[in-house]
Amino acid sequence: MSFMDIALNRQSCRNFNQKRQVEDEKLQRILECARLAPSACNAQPYHITVCKGEDAHRIAKATVGMGINGFTKDVPVMLVISEDSYNKTAALGAKIKSIDYRSIDIGILCSHIVFQAHEEGLSTCILGWIEDKKIREICNCNKVHLIVALGYANDDDKLRPKKRKSIDELVSYKS
Ligand SMILES: Cc1cc2nc3c(=O)[nH]c(=O)nc-3n(C[C@H](O)[C@H](O)[C@H](O)COP(=O)(O)O)c2cc1C
């Protein structure tokens, strides 16, 4: 599978098969790809808590609200991405440049997770609609930035056409 195949065929899943569990060897490869993600000053200012079974259900409840994310009740694995401290150089860089490198790093980490998951035949949905306080209590972790829902899609889940800016809107060239 080429990277272009993955980019074209990965999509956010909101139709998980609650009966099909994620094989541990696949989960471990996904976590290894996450571990290899780049980050500002190589600070890796994040932590992943793998929640399965009843804990995944408790996390799912903390992602639902205002009619959003009801599908998470069927998700077998929830990867909770919380923050960890910067190293000295990243902390200094973030302060001097007023750039939130940690959020950028966490976005890249999530990309590694969802692309490797796709290669493994698994489906994902990145979740930003989350109740930080509740999830922190469950995971005993720092501030939660994102969650990646991980599992198998139901057989009737169809590939949707991609809705994206045109390449001309997205890209401009100078000289
Ligand atoms: C930071 C971030 C937060 C997101 N939060 C949610 C969410 O809480 N619930 C949800 O259903 N999808 C969520 N998504 C998925 C986006 O809606 C989705 O990536 C986008 O619509 C493009 O669709 P695609 O992923 O299927 O290509 C999130 C995606 C990102 C990157």
Any idea what the CATH number is for the domain that residue 32 is in?
Answer: 3.40.109.10
Considering the domain boundaries, does residue 17 fall inside one?
Answer: yes
State which residues of the chain have pLDDT below 50: none
Q: Token pair for residue 33?
A: 């790809």
Is 93 inside a domain boundary?
A: yes
Q: Tell me, yes or no, if the pTM score tops 0.85.
A: yes
Ligand 1 contact via 125 beta carbon (within 6 Å): yes
Structural domain includes residue 154: yes
Q: Provide the token pair at 116.
A: 């490797």
Ligand 1 pocket: which of 8, 12, 100 to mutate (most atoms <8 Å of CB)? 12
Q: 79 in a domain, yes or no?
A: yes
Which atom of ligand 1 sits closest to the CA of residue 130?
A: 8
Instruction: Give how many domains the chain has, as a whole number.
Output: 1
- The answer as to whether 77 is a domain residue is yes
* Ligand 1 atom, smallest distance to 162 CA: 27
Residue 175: inside a domain: no
Question: Domain limits at 127?
Answer: 3-170
pLDDT digits (tens, 9 = 90+) for 129-159: 999 999 999 999 999 999 999 999 999 999 9
